Each structure stands twice: as C-alpha cells, then as structure tokens.
C-alpha cells in the first residue's frame, strides 16, 4: 500500500468494487450485531480510512493465537483484513531481528504515538520483576508499561493476555496475569479463547477502523457482539439438553446420536464465546460438533475450574472421603462431650 | 474466584463437612444420653417390642381418621412437598449425576418436564404451607424463627432450581451458582435446626413404638 493511500484506493487498485466492499460491510455489521443501516456507513468509512497501525507484542505465550489468526482460511475480502492495518511490529512475522527489530519497534511507536493499537498475546509474568519472560533482555511487564500509554487502545488477544490463561494456572510460578491487571488507565478489549476466533479479531479491527472507537464491551471487556451469549445458548445440541437426552460416555448410543454432552463435562452453559455460530476452520465445525464438550477456554481460570474438564457443571469438587471421615469422627467426639456434659448437669436423669 | 467456582469448590466442600460433622454431633449426642432405668417388668417380649417400634414408624405417618378434618390439609400439603423433594432429588438428571460422581451409582432419570412440573407443585405446596402457618392461630403461636428459616432454606433450592431449568431470568452460570449456594446453605443448616428430622423422624417414631410396647400401651 502506498503512503497516503486509503483503504478504498487500495481495494480499487486490487480490483475490488465498491459493491464488494459494501457486501463485506454488510457481513461485518451482521457479525458485529449492528443495525443493517450501518453497513453503508461502515463501507464508506472503510473506503476513506487510512491503514491502522498495529504494534503486536508477544509475551508469555505459545504462538497458538498468532498461528490460528494467520492460518484462517478465508478466501473472500475478509482475507484482506490485514490490508486494512499496518502491522508495524510482530516478532514472529517480521524479517528483522535483534537490534534492527528493536529499532523498528521504536520507530513505529514514535511515528504513531497516540494512534496505534497495541495487540498483546500471552500473559504478563510479574513475579520477581517479570524475569520469567523477556524480549531483547527486557521484561514483558516493563514493555507493556512503556508502550501502553501511547496506544489508542489495547487488544488482549487470547485467554492468556485477557486473564492470564494457562500460565496463570495453579501454582502460577511466574505470577502470570492478564493485561488489564497491569494497565488500568487505557481502553482494553479482551478477545479471549485458546485460541481466539480469528473472525472476532477481524470484527474488532474493522469496527475500530470504520468508526474510530471500540465496539460495545461486556463487563469483562469482551466484544458484546461475540461474547454476549453462551455456547450453550447457540449450541445445535441444546434441544437434546432441553429434552434431557445426555450422552453418558464418549462412545455410547447417546454420543453417536449427537445428544448433549453436559454430563461429560461440557462447559458450554457457562462459557461466553461465538464458537457455536462462527465455528472454526472456515466454518467447518467446533469442538462440540466434533464430539467433545466445551472446555470453557475463553473464561478466566478455565484450567483450574473445580472438578476438571470431565466433571459436569452439576458437580464440583467435594471434600475427600478422608476429610468426611475426620468430620464424622469430630462430630461423634463433640456429641460424646455434649452427652457427658448433659449427664453431669442432670444427675438423676 | 468466581461465585460459581466458589460454589463448586470451597463452598461445596465446607457445606458437606459441616453437615457431616453436625449430623454426627447431633446423633452421637442423642444416642449417648443417659437413659432412664426401667424398673418395671416389660409387658411384651423383645421381638414384639422391636416389631411394634417398626410398625409405629409407618402407622404414625398418617393421622388418625378423627383428626383429618383439622390436620388433613396441612398433612396433605406436607406430603406433596416431601414427595416432591424426593422426586426432584432422586429423579432429576443433574442430581443423579452428583450421586454418581460421589458414590459411583446411577439410576434412570425422569424427563425434565416431569421434574419441572413436580418442582412447581412442590413450590406451590411450600407457599401454601407458609400461608397456613402465618394464618392458623395455633400454628402461628407455636412457630419459631427456626420454622421460618427452615422453610426459607428449603424453598430457595426449589425456586432456584426452577429458575435454572428455565434459563430465562439470568445467565446460566449465575443461576447455577445461586442454586448450588442455596443447596449448600440447606446442607449447613440441616443438622442444627428442625430439618434434622430428616435423620431423627423415623428413629423417634421407632423408639416411641418400642417404649409403648414395653409398657403394654397401644401405639
């Protein structure tokens, strides 16, 4: 994209018609649960917009979030979403390395101060001064605190960046936390998921480029359009839940008939995400459709949830049998003491 | 930690331990009390006394016919909600799942619609009993804070269970957390108030029948 060129110019140069952009805008407004009347406005704004600077920092992460975003199969104009943005810094994708990469980062921040979107994937380790995850010898927490103030907004991509994720799992040896635990005075959008759904990131970016602000968020700072309902609410197996038809094991008759996986530990009823509607791998399926219950990966502390992945929501973690035995023995002892006290109090009884 | 995580973890653990400790405390305290020494000769042999005790457990479950006009409505409503609670607890799929996870035993569940209907009847019976308790002059006089609190602690799990099954007035996670917490409150209160009759009612009737038989009285 040439300097000063708008997105509309760029799309025209690549042979996309305005009608094509309008169709894309209609699809995005639908995805973002916006009124259809906003589609022409979005198309117009997109056409007039200049590329949005995005600086992407990877912290304590597995690169799964980046992988899923890069490998999304989308042959339509949505595939051009990365043409709407200027990905000015991303360590895994950029050719530069070492001091050259550091210089690129500094230049990008200086050139777009106050305007860039700061995308973070991975949790932020804060224990022992953040020494457990360094980039170029600098602690992630220090980098976040340096670059966050000049960002227009922060995108916490993936459950690790949003809530600490798997690195935060007990016993959390690195003191991992989410971005919002470190930065409290900047607008933050959490896009949780392990990994997050690529179309959700696309939707948030398109919204920001189109309207210059973040979409409506829920109380956990997630885009309401994608996280407003639970997977259970949209699940194609929900009629079986309502009928009380549950698979009892992963290979029984109920499982073969596609019955609800609630009893096998599915966390769909308490998990907010758009997996059941947007699906994965270009709309092929999502975990429940593949026969496995939802793990709840887009919720905080999903790795440490009571009872584990295969305990139903109806259950949880009760005390151990040993604990119950001790409680019973203690009860008997207390009862005996009470009975003896009563005998002394009423000698003639 | 979310409310649901607390309800499914520490809350549940604490409630179970308190219930077990409390129930064993109450039971041991009662069984270890000094018994009055019976100096009179028993009127019936041991076998008959035990049989009388067992029979009394059942005969006392229904009021005598001449008392029906006075106590019949209350007893009928009580049976509706007691049987209702039994059906909900042992017939509902999620509840059977909990028993399976604890004890490793399972049994066929009842259709969800049946459980919801029974829950509705149970709730209605509970409300009717509260109204009766508040309007009946004698019952009102006899009622203590224990009665009303015990009523509330039974009412809440049924109500939150109905709301959870409907999934309409709130998020599933919130409703589930409230349902679990209400059940945990019931478990904690169970040994310490009148709800302890769960464990004592049949034993009490049996001992009564046994003692009556020993004295040669009709039960």
Query: What is the reported pLDDT for A75?
Result: 40
CB distance from B90 to chain A under 8 Å?
no
Query: Which CA distances in Å does B63 have to B71, B72, B99?
Result: 8, 8, 33
DSSP 8-state code for residue B36: P
Per-residue pLDDT at B169: 83
Give yes or no: residues A207 and A242 share one domain.
no
Q: Taking each helix axis from N to C terminus, what angle separates A18-31 and A38-48, rounded to the nearest 10 degrees?
A: 120
Task: Note whether residue A291 is domain-resident.
Answer: yes
Residue A123 lies in a domain: yes
pLDDT at position A74, please?
55
For residue A100, pLDDT over 80 is answered with yes
Q: Which of A149, A182, A157 is nearest to A64 (CA)?
A: A157
What percent of chain B lies above the pLDDT cut of 90?
66
Q: Is the pLDDT confidence value at A53 over 60? A: yes
With a cut of 80, say whether residue A46 has pLDDT above it.
yes
pLDDT at A318: 84
* Nearest alpha-carbon partner for B160 in B190, B184, B195: B184
Q: Above 90 in pLDDT, residue B71?
A: no
pLDDT in tens, A132-149: 999 989 999 999 999 999
Q: Which domain holds residue A347?
A: 323-349
Residue A160 main-chain phi, psi, to 5 deg: -65, -50
List, in order, residues 6 or more apart from B144 with CB less than 8 Å away.
none
Find tokens 């009662």 and name the residue: B30
What tokens does B18 get?
């308190």
> Does A77 score more than 50 pLDDT?
no
3-state secondary structure of B86: helix
d(CA B123, CA A3): 70
| Chain segment B21-36, per-residue pLDDT in tens | 999 999 999 988 887 7
Helix (H) or strand (E) holding A157: strand A153-157
A167: CATH: 3.40.50.700
**Chain B residues close to A323, C-beta within 8 Å:** 13, 17
Kindly state whether residue A30 falls inside one of the protein's structural domains. no
Q: Do A335 and B23 touch (CB under 8 A)?
A: no
Report CB contact under 8 Å: B5, A305. Answer: yes
What distance in Å separates the CA atoms of residue A248 and residue A246, rounded to the nearest whole number?
Answer: 6
Residue A331 to residue B22, Cβ atoms within 8 A: yes
Cβ separation A331–B101 shorter than 8 A: no
Question: How far is residue B181's CA from residue B126's CA, in Å, rounded to a whole number?
Answer: 20
What's the CATH number where A260 sits? 4.10.480.10
One domain, residues A291 and A332: no
The 10s digit of each residue's pLDDT in A303-326 is: 998 888 998 998 888 889 999 999
- What whole-number distance in Å separates Cα of residue A290 and Cα of residue A267? 15
Looking at chain A, the whole-number percentage of residues with pLDDT higher than 70 is: 94
CA angle B95–B98–B102, rounded 5-degree value? 145
Q: What is the CATH number of domain B3-16+46-62+71-215?
A: 1.20.950
Taking the C-alpha atoms of residue B33 and residue B29, their distance in angstroms, rounded to an integer, is: 6
Q: Tell me if A58 is assigned to some domain.
A: yes
Lowest mean pLDDT among A39-43, A110-114, A164-168, A270-274: A39-43
Give φ, ψ of A307 to 5 degrees: 90, -15
Q: Considering chain A, what percentage of its residues have pLDDT values greater than 90?
A: 60
Would you say residue A86 lies in a domain? yes
What is the rounded average pLDDT of the residues B66-75?
88
Q: Which residue has the higher pLDDT, B57 or A74?
A: B57
In a domain, A33, yes or no: no
User: Which residue(s) pair with A89 in the sheet?
Assistant: A55
Position A5 pLDDT exceeds 80: no
Q: Chains A, B: CB contacts under 8 A, how many?
A: 129
Task: Note whether A112 and A218 are same-domain residues.
Answer: yes
Strands A134-135 and A138-139: antiparallel
Residue A61 counted as domain residue: yes
Mean pLDDT of chain A: 89
Return the SS3 of A320: coil
pLDDT of residue A164: 97
Q: How far apart, in whole angstroms, are the C-alpha atoms of residue A181 and residue A190?
A: 12
Residues A193 and A275 in one domain: no
Domain count, chain A: 3
Tokens describing residue B100: 């399976």
Please report whether residue A93 resides in a domain.
yes
Same domain as A235, residue A216 = no
List the single residue in B with minimal CA-CA distance to A270: B173
> How sure is the predictor about A346, in pLDDT bands with cuts at 50, 70 and 90?
low
- List all residues 6 or more positions away from B30 whose beta carbon is below 8 Å from its beta carbon: A335, A339, B200
SS3 content of chain A, % helix, strand, coil (to 5): 45, 15, 40
Same domain, A124 and A251: no
**HEC-encoded secondary structure of A56-83:** EEECECCCHHHHHHHCCCCCCHHHHHHH
Q: Which of A263, A316, A342 sits opposite B33 (nearest CB)?
A: A342
Question: Is A210 in the same domain as A115?
Answer: yes
Using a CB-CB cut-off of 8 Å, the residues of chain A touching B17 are: 319, 323-324, 327
CA distance B173 to chain A (A): 5
Q: What pLDDT was estimated at residue B38?
A: 80
- Does pLDDT of B188 surpass 90? yes
pLDDT at B171: 86
Check: CB of residue A160 under 8 Å from CB of residue A192: no
Q: Is a pLDDT exceeding 90 seen at residue B85?
A: yes
Contacts of A269 in chain B (CB under 8 A): 172-173, 176
Look at residues A210, A227, A244 and tell me which one is the last residue of a structural domain.
A227
Is residue A83 over pLDDT 80? Answer: no
Q: Which ranges constitute the DSSP H helices of A216-313?
A: 224-227, 231-234, 238-243, 253-256, 275-278
For A146, what's the count of Cα atoms within 13 Å in the CB-facing half-sphere? 12
Say if CB B12 and CB A318 are below 8 A apart: yes
Boundary-marking domain end, from A227, A253, A280: A227
Instruction: Report pLDDT for B165.
Output: 87
Q: Which of A242, A270, A316 sits opposite B9 (nearest CB)?
A: A316
Q: What are phi and psi of B119, to 5 degrees?
A: -60, -40
For residues A248 and A264, give the distance between their C-alpha atoms in angstroms, rounded to a whole number.
7
Same-domain status, A63 and A140: yes
The reply to whether B24 touches chain A by the CB within 8 Å rule is yes
Separation of alpha carbons B26 and B12, rounded Å: 21
Which of A212, A227, A242 finishes a domain? A227
| pLDDT at residue B2 in the model | 84
């Amino acid at each position: 994209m040439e300097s000063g060129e708008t997105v509309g110019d760029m799309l025209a140069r690549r042979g996309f018609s305005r009608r094509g952009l309008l169709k894309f805008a209609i699809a995005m407004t639908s995805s973002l649960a916006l009124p259809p009347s906003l589609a022409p406005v979005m198309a117009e704004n997109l056409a007039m917009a200049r590329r949005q600077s995005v600086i992407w920092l990877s912290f304590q992460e597995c690169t799964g979030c980046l992988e899923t975003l890069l490998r999304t199969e989308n042959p339509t104009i949505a595939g051009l979403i990365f043409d709407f943005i200027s990905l000015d810094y991303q360590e895994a994708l950029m050719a530069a390395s070492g001091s050259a990469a550091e210089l690129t980062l500094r230049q990008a921040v200086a050139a777009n101060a106050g305007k860039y979107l700061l995308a973070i994937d991975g949790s932020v380790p804060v224990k022992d001064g953040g020494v457990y995850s360094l980039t170029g010898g600098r602690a992630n927490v220090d980098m976040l605190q340096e670059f966050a103030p000049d960002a227009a907004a922060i995108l916490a991509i993936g459950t690790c960046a949003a809530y600490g994720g798997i690195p935060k799992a007990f016993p959390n040896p690195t003191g991992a936390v989410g971005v919002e635990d470190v930065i409290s005075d900047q607008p933050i959008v959490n896009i949780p998921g392990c990994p997050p759904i690529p179309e959700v990131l696309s939707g948030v970016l398109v919204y920001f480029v189109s309207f210059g602000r973040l979409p409506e968020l829920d109380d956990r700072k997630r885009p309401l359009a994608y996280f407003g309902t639970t997977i259970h609410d949209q699940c194609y197996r929900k009629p079986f839940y309502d009928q009380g038809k549950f698979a009892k094991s992963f290979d029984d008759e109920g499982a073969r008939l596609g019955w609800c996986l609630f009893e096998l530990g599915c966390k769909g009823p308490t998990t907010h995400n758009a997996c059941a509607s947007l699906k994965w791998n270009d709309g092929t399926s999502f975990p429940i459709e593949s026969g496995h219950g939802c793990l709840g990966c887009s919720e905080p502390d999903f790795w440490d949830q009571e009872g584990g992945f295969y305990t139903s929501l109806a259950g949880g973690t009760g005390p151990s049998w040993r604990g119950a035995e001790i409680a019973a023995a203690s009860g008997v002892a207390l009862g005996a003491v009470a009975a003896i006290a009563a005998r002394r109090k009423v000698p003639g009884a | 930690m979310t409310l649901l995580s607390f309800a499914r973890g520490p809350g549940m653990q604490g409630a179970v331990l308190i219930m077990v400790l409390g129930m064993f405390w109450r039971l041991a305290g009662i069984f270890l009390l000094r018994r009055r020494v019976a100096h009179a000769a028993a009127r019936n042999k041991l076998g008959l006394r035990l049989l009388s005790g067992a029979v009394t457990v059942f005969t006392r479950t229904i009021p005598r016919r001449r008392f029906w006009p006075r106590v019949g409505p209350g007893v009928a409503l009580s049976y509706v909600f007691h049987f209702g609670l039994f059906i909900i607890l042992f017939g509902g799929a999620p509840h059977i799942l909990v028993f399976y996870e604890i004890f490793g035993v399972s049994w066929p569940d009842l259709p969800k619609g049946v459980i919801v209907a029974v829950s509705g009847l149970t709730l209605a019976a509970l409300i009717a009993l509260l109204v009766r308790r508040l309007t009946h002059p004698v019952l009102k006089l006899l009622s203590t804070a224990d009665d009303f609190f015990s009523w509330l602690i039974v009412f809440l799990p049924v109500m939150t269970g109905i709301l959870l099954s409907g999934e309409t007035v709130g998020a599933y996670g919130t409703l589930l957390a409230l349902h679990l917490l209400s059940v945990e409150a019931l478990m904690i209160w169970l040994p310490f108030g009148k709800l302890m009759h769960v464990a004592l009612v049949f034993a009490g009737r049996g001992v009564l029948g046994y003692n009556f038989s020993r004295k040669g009285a009709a039960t």
